[in-house]
Amino acid sequence: MRLIIIGPPGSGKGTQANRLSERLGLAHVSTGDILRDAIKRQSPEGRSASSYVATGRLVPDELVNEIIRALFRGKKAPRQFIMDGYPRTVAQADFFDRVLKDQGLDLGGVIFLQVPDEEITERLSGRRTCPNPTCGASYHVKFQPPRRPDVCDRCDTRLVQREDDKPETIAKRLAVYHAVYDELVDHYRRGGCLKEIDGVGDMEAVYERILEALKTC
């Protein structure tokens, strides 16, 4: 199966994509993770992207598209996948349509997670992540606190707040999101299997809603 999951930052895309990738045996392709890794390694792509990511702005389409093109042309090109955080603009969606066409692949469905802004702000500002590259566990100060404050349960590393989860940056990311998403959603609504899912509530309940919706793809 080939899926895209879209929604505002903090809508739970990453968490749901993880679970779906395990359950359905899909490669989980997150451009946010790819970019953060490139920034950490200080690769040329990472150096170009770092100021955008740190301030919550979208990295230019050409740069992200190039990363995706290389991935899909490479030896380890995913065949069954869930895209998380890409495409994020209509230009990226057009580009990705072409990448898939070139590879003779079609899209099974697009999951659109809907969560209101106030809830997004509360979720993101409380998020803490483990910076240990082999762990990467995620917590929330209110909804999923670690056993000891600010320390990872799994590997004892001190937790951090992502630079782009700071309040000024969250507002910026939401503004960016609203500016481009209407068009993106329209693109996929026209193109076929768009599933609009209520992303509010328990993670488990949202997951069940997604599985139910995918039955009709």
Alpha-carbon distance of 148 to 199, in angstroms, equals 29
Among the listed residues 164, 177, 188, 199, the single contact to ligand AMP using CB under 6 A: 164
162 part of the active site? yes
At residue 41, φ and ψ (nearest 5 deg) are -80, -10
Please identify which of the residues 69, 162, 166, 172 carries the catalytic annotation: 162
Minimum CB separation of residue 148 from ligand AMP in Å reads 26
Contact call for residue 7 and ligand AMP (CB under 6 A): no
**Between 21 and 31, CB nearer to ligand AMP:** 31
Please identify which of the residues 123, 127, 128, 209 carries the catalytic annotation: 127
Strands 81-84, 2-6: parallel, antiparallel or unpaired by DSSP? parallel
Give, as ranges, the residues between 32 and 91 that touch ligand AMP (CB under 6 A): 32, 35, 52-53, 56-59, 64, 85-86, 88
Contact call for residue 9 and ligand AMP (CB under 6 A): yes
Class of residue 38 by CB neighbours under 10 A (exposed 0-12, middle 13-18, buried 19+): buried
Alpha-carbon distance of 49 to 93, in angstroms, equals 19
Give, as ranges, the residues between 94 and 123 that touch ligand AMP (CB under 6 A): none
Nearest to 14 by CA among 2, 30, 26: 30
Task: Decide: 14 and 84 in contact? Cβ < 8 Å.
Answer: yes
Q: Which residue is nearest to ligand AMP (CB)?
A: 32
CA distances from 7 to 75, 96, 101 (A): 30, 17, 24
Please identify which of the residues 19, 36, 88, 123 carries the catalytic annotation: 88
Catalytic residue set = 13, 88, 127, 162, 173
Chain residues that interact with ligand AMP, rule: CB under 6 A = 9, 31-32, 35, 52-53, 56-59, 64, 85-86, 88, 92, 164, 173
